[in-house]
Amino acid sequence: MDNQYENMLKSKMSEASYQKLTALKNPKLIEFVGFFAEHCEPASIYVCDDSETDTQYVRDQALAKGEEQVLAHSQQTIHWDGYGDQGRDKNGTRFMVYKENLESMKALNSIEYEEGYAEIMSISKGIMKGKDAVVQFFSEGPTESPFTIPCIQFTDSWYVAHSEFILYRSAYSHFMKMKDSEKGDFFRFIHSAGVLDANNCTKNLDKRRIYMDTQNNIVYSMNNQYAGNSIGLKKHSMRLAINKSGKEGWLCEHMFVMAAVDNEKKRKTYFCGAYPSACGKTSTAMIPGEKIVGDDIAYFRNINGEFRAVNVEFGMFGIIQDVNSKDDPLIFENLMKNQEIIFSNVLMGPDRKPYWLGMGVEAPTEGRNHFGDWKKGATDSKGKEVSLAHGNARYTMRLDYLANIDKEGFEAKNGVMVEGILYGGRDSDTTVPVEESPSWKDGILLKAATLESETTSATLGAEGVRTPSPMANMDFVSYPLGQYTINNINFGEGVKKTPKIFSNNYFMRNPEGKFMTSKLAKKVWLHWAEGRIHGEYETYETPTGKIPQYQDLKALFKKHLNEDFSEADYVYLFTFRCGKWIEKLERTKAFYIKVDPNTPKELFAYWDAAIEKIRMAKDTFGDQIKPGSFKG
């Protein structure tokens, strides 16, 4: 034990907590806890192990300190974040980068290391005074597996601590079993909600900072409570893992892991999928009749030549707006049960039940929400009407509550073997609903790197604007985008059986502006892809891949949805639009140049060749190439 911190830690910990910490015999871990105990000055520190006793203590403290309140269902609680702290703080989230690397990282919202360190140390000095803190041990991925990344969280928010016990696998026992050579290799997170106001919400939002040190695998998160800013193991850890994977030859991706199930053929095929926000990611992972492993973050490793994946998390931190019994029956059913769930930034009605936007039930006209005491028609300080719940309101829930959990894949230490990758964007007039890539490299450069999300006038006031989102991961990529793209190519080409890559677009509109298919059609696109993986279905060629033939989709619509699918709709949906695709590729090139001027030239050479191929197709077959007309 380092005498530098021994007496100080003993003064802030019970004998039981102190013994739990020192029993790990990990000098780097004790240095981390000791340094921030001295620097942030909490009144006390509670150290958790994997026991239900400690988990219950954290739950109780979240209630006792007013960070959560019990709802009508006794196991459900509600938490509110303060106004202005209800979404990810992109401006306040920065990478602390050594001077020699600053130029290559400047497009990724970086700050010079010494400047960032001085600022965050100043902000965090004494930030926990008078508050009780907690130390927890977790694992990214299953414990004691090739995927495991051990993590330690030090926070003064018991809501954050409670959330993490739901969202991640407790790993005190894993830390106990770590060999001496492994004891320095873990992620560290230090968080403080800072000074709280009368509503127990963060007060000093002007000093909100989330600073990431990927060189030393530590994240400093100060003056915030919203889980996307405060929960270290989620997107903060993801940024550290992306950087670590880039150095070590594996991948961390913003992807679900799920299985398409064909009961007639008694087979289960694992897919992973990346979709920008509001492009169908969660709804694809939760398609009725299929199996889910995870909904948000996946690690990929080459294990004995196989492309294998794990869900990093144990729970879900999901957007609750528009979750209702019709569109998301499996999730909605669980939200109605008396089981451990944290609702955040929704309305607590007079009946102490939670209500949110798009819930599909009649809501009360008064109650308490993120605004405080609320009545319909209430306005904020700027005169804007406050809705009953926030648009980014969330639920925090264990994944294994879901009836469609794939228990085998969820607990597999070596992950699941992935056979298909889905990349889905949102546009109204370019990308077909499902298309198979000719090869892994083509898939990364034509499907993943070109991902975009199209805005709608109803939500953002500028209809048709395409926001680039390569791999649906731009908010979290923590080293230059060009090299990250190359690493994706190299990893997939380095396994014995490379998964097939498919693109998705659920948002094609007809000339009148109406969506061409229902939300349920994604089940058809998934099962066509599943069939292709197993050598079923003939295809038509396009300049960018392979598309379904009409008779196969007609049969799949009837089988899975009991719907008729017209040939006219098929032709419109699967027509290849040359001009639109050229524009899309040019936007991709421009975005890569902007974000990473040092993107390898071979990527631009590939896209230029693809553009030329499409131009030649346009000259031969016309701007709009109907299915079956293209001959490559």
**pLDDT tens profile 185-216:** 999 999 999 999 988 899 999 999 999 999 99
Q: What angle do CA 481, 484, 486 make, to 5 degrees?
A: 110
CB 576 within 8 Å of CB 625: yes
Q: Residue 490 belongs to what domain range?
A: 253-315+408-625
**pLDDT tens profile 61-102:** 999 999 999 999 999 999 999 888 988 898 899 999 999 888
Average pLDDT over residues 461-486: 89
What local confidence, expressed as pLDDT, does residue 194 receive? 97
Q: Are residues 257 and 298 in the same domain?
A: yes
Q: Are residues 542 and 491 in the same domain?
A: yes
User: Is 362 inside a domain boundary?
Assistant: yes
Q: Are residues 266 and 137 in the same domain?
A: no
Confidence of residue 460 (pLDDT cuts 50, 70, 90): very low
Q: Hey, how many other C-beta atoms are within 10 angstroms of the C-beta on 64?
A: 11
In 3D space, the residue among 14, 134, 166 whose CA is nearest the CA of residue 64 turns out to be 134
Q: What is the DSSP letter of 188?
A: E
Q: How many residues are given for the chain?
A: 632
> Is residue 43 scored above 90 in pLDDT?
yes
User: Is 555 inside a domain boundary?
Assistant: yes
Q: Are residues 298 and 361 in the same domain?
A: no
Q: Are residues 289 and 326 in the same domain?
A: no
What SS3 class is residue 67? coil
What local confidence, expressed as pLDDT, does residue 250 receive? 98
Q: Are residues 263 and 302 in the same domain?
A: yes
- Single-letter amino acid, residue 27: P
CA distance 431 to 451: 10
CA dist 441 to 138, 234, 447, 542, 584, Å?
A: 35, 29, 10, 16, 18
CB 248 within 8 Å of CB 240: no
User: Is 76 inside a domain boundary?
Assistant: no
> Is residue 449 scored above 50 in pLDDT?
yes
Helices (H), 153-236: 158-167, 172-177, 227-230
**What token pair was written down for 604?**
């631009």
- Single-letter amino acid, residue 221: S
Q: Are residues 321 and 205 in the same domain?
A: no
Between helix 27-40 and helix 113-124 the angle, nearest 10°, is: 60
CA distance 115 to 95: 11
**pLDDT tens profile 366-378:** 999 988 899 999 9
User: Is 75 inside a domain boundary?
Assistant: no
CATH number at residue 540: 3.90.228.20
Q: Are residues 519 and 427 in the same domain?
A: yes
User: Is 419 inside a domain boundary?
Assistant: yes
pTM confidence score: 0.94
Lowest mean pLDDT among 226-230, 324-328, 361-365: 324-328
Question: Last residue of a domain, which of 339, 364, 399?
Answer: 399
User: Is 460 inside a domain boundary?
Assistant: yes
Helices (H), 402-479: 407-411, 440-442, 457-460
What SS3 class is residue 273? strand
What local confidence, expressed as pLDDT, does residue 96 receive? 95
In 3D space, the residue among 194, 188, 252 whose CA is nearest the CA of residue 214 turns out to be 188
Q: Which of 48, 252, 272, 279 is catalytic?
A: 279
Q: What is the DSSP string of 308-346?
A: EEEES-SEEEEE-TT--TTT-HHHHHHHTSSS-EEEESS
User: Is 78 inside a domain boundary?
Assistant: no
Between helix 578-595 and helix 481-493 the angle, nearest 10°, is: 120
Q: Are residues 297 and 321 in the same domain?
A: no
Q: How many domains does the chain have?
A: 3
**pLDDT tens profile 26-39:** 999 999 999 999 99
Confidence of residue 458 (pLDDT cuts 50, 70, 90): very low
What totals of helices (H) and strands (E) does the chain contain, helices first?
A: 21, 33
Q: Are residues 328 and 302 in the same domain?
A: no
Give the containing element (helix H, strand E) for 366: strand 366-369
CATH number at residue 389: 2.170.8.10
Q: Are residues 326 and 310 in the same domain?
A: no
CA distance 383 to 441: 52
What SS3 class is residue 166? helix
What local confidence, expressed as pLDDT, does residue 456 receive? 56
Give the containing element (helix H, strand E) for 139: strand 132-140
Q: Are residues 346 and 224 in the same domain?
A: no
User: Is 417 inside a domain boundary?
Assistant: yes
Q: Is 201 a catalytic residue?
A: no
Q: Hey, how many other C-beta atoms are within 10 angstroms of the C-beta on 538?
A: 10
